[in-house]
Amino acid sequence: MCVVFDLKKTIALRDWGSWIRKKGWRFVIGVGKDKEKREEFPASQVEMILIGGSSSISSSALQLAVEKRIPVFFTYPSGYPYAALFPMVSTGSARTRMEQYLSRLDDRGLKLAVAFAEGKLLNQYYLLRTFIRYRMKRNKDLAKYLNERADEIKKALRELRKIQAESLDFGLRSKLMNIEGRGAEAYWEAISQLVPSKFGPFRREKRGAKDVVNSLLNFGYGFLLARVTTSLFYVGLDPYAGYLHVDRAGRESLSLDLMEEFRQQAVDRVVLRLISTKQIGPDAVDEEGQIKNQPLSILLDALEERMHNYVYFSGRKMKLNTAIKMQARRIVQHILRTKSYSPFYLRY
């Protein structure tokens, strides 16, 4: 499968035999030797390239991507990136990286960790409030259940805001993750009641899931991870040195930290809309849990469209993708002590 978003500047390939090559200052995409399926796109119109499955990209196309500062991500069938290509030079400085590492040992790191957790809980709470409002008249019992789960998230928020400490240590990080985990449990219990019954009982599972809803969510999170990692890289931050998530070899801890603020608005609501409006059905995945071509095209299109939707944040109107970039810059401002960091969240 090859998916191209003409104005939205993302190229995604997955099918066996699909490829990307260079022709002048343009990317040529195709499948095998079939000339009728070939398309060309100016590099200036491409924002990101996703290479999955058995598709390939030529070295000259990679060079063009680097020259035009276009990130290239190689992904597993689940959509989770396992490798990425960026230019050797980012827009950050050595001081930014140094302060990032030092901030993990003082109050700056603590405030960031709390903010990431707070942003996640706030978005979970307000997204549930949206669903409650739409169901108050149609299904009062469901609305009541959702409201109870939202109250549990609100309780976790109050507990989070009471935390007082001078720096972030292992014990405090564990406490933060515990609070965040309780909120997440209430959130997914609520979401399970919003999944149409034809998809079967839903329980949140991460990597390795084979059911439709989890497969859609996991692919969406991989898509979001690529966006967030790109934004962090171009402001000079180390995606692997986080604050809330524990460091682990090969784990993009800071990317996962910042993702917490955007999962609900960028992915969860998209997936719920697609399955609720019957755009994607229960037969969307194969026996291995891999999303089939047609529903994957629908999912990618919806995710990209959401990234270009306008939201109201920080006193002004902006695209959701712009908000991600803004938050990456604000992390830098925070660790350099030029401006305090506040989490991204949307009220409804």
Token reading at 169: 């240590």
C-alpha closest to that of 66 among 89, 83, 82: 89
Boundaries of CATH 3.100.10.20 in the chain? 2-70
Confidence of residue 191 (pLDDT cuts 50, 70, 90): very high
Q: What is the pLDDT of residue 7?
A: 47
Q: How far apart are CA 344 and CA 313, in angstroms?
A: 7
Cross-strand pairs, 56: 19
DSSP tally for the chain: helices H, then strands E: 11, 11
pLDDT at 136 over 90: no
In this prediction the pTM is: 0.92
Buried/exposed 280-290: b ≥16 CB within 10 Å, e otherwise: beeebbeeebb
- What phi, psi does 310 have (nearest 5°)? -85, 140
Query: What CATH code would you report for 94-335?
Result: 1.20.120.920
Chain length of the chain? 348
Superfamily per CATH, domain 2-70: CRISPR-associated endonuclease Cas1, N-terminal domain (3.100.10.20)
Boundaries of CATH 1.20.120.920 in the chain? 94-335
Q: State the DSSP string of 289-344.
A: SPBPHHHHHHHHHHHHHHHTSEEEETTEEEEHHHHHHHHHHHHHHHHTTSS-----
C-alpha atoms less than 13 angstroms from C-alpha of 189 in its C-beta half-sphere = 15
Q: What is the pLDDT of residue 229?
A: 96
Q: pLDDT tens digit string along 68-111?
A: 999 999 998 888 899 999 887 666 678 999 999 999 999 999 99
